[in-house]
């Protein structure tokens, strides 16, 4: 009877990862999943709404962030020389 000797290589020693690194990876995976879900929902809403340029008035909307009655924030930011402060009148 011939003896067969099987040798095994020792397992490489793994250093345990710090909890902070594991936690960060879990957060990154969850954040990516949330972004993917948001992208899908936005795509669904875009399909439901149709072409935004086909609305009444098309591109007649003010630029994003423009205060009402102004074409853009830059014009609104410059302001004017009118003093619009009012003081309350004294009540008898």
Closest CA to 30 of 66, 54, 22: 22
pLDDT category, 92, cuts 50, 70, 90?
A: low
Separation between Cα atoms, residue 21 and residue 27, nearest integer Å:
10
Structure tokens that stand for 4 in this block = 């067969």
Residues 6+ apart with CB under 8 A from 53: 59
The pTM of the whole model exceeds 0.85:
no
Q: What is the pLDDT of residues 60-79, one digit of tens each?
A: 655 566 566 666 666 666 66
Report the mean per-residue pLDDT for the chain: 76
């Amino acid at each position: 009877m011939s003896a067969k000797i099987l040798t095994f290589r020792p397992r490489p020693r793994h250093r345990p990862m710090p909890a902070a690194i594991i936690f960060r990876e879990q957060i990154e995976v969850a954040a990516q999943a949330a972004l993917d879900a948001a992208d899908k929902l936005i795509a669904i809403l875009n399909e439901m709404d149709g072409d935004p340029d086909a609305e009444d008035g098309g591109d007649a909307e003010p630029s994003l962030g423009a205060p009402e009655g102004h074409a853009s924030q830059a014009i609104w930011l410059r302001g004017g020389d009118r003093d619009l402060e009012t003081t309350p009148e004294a009540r008898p």
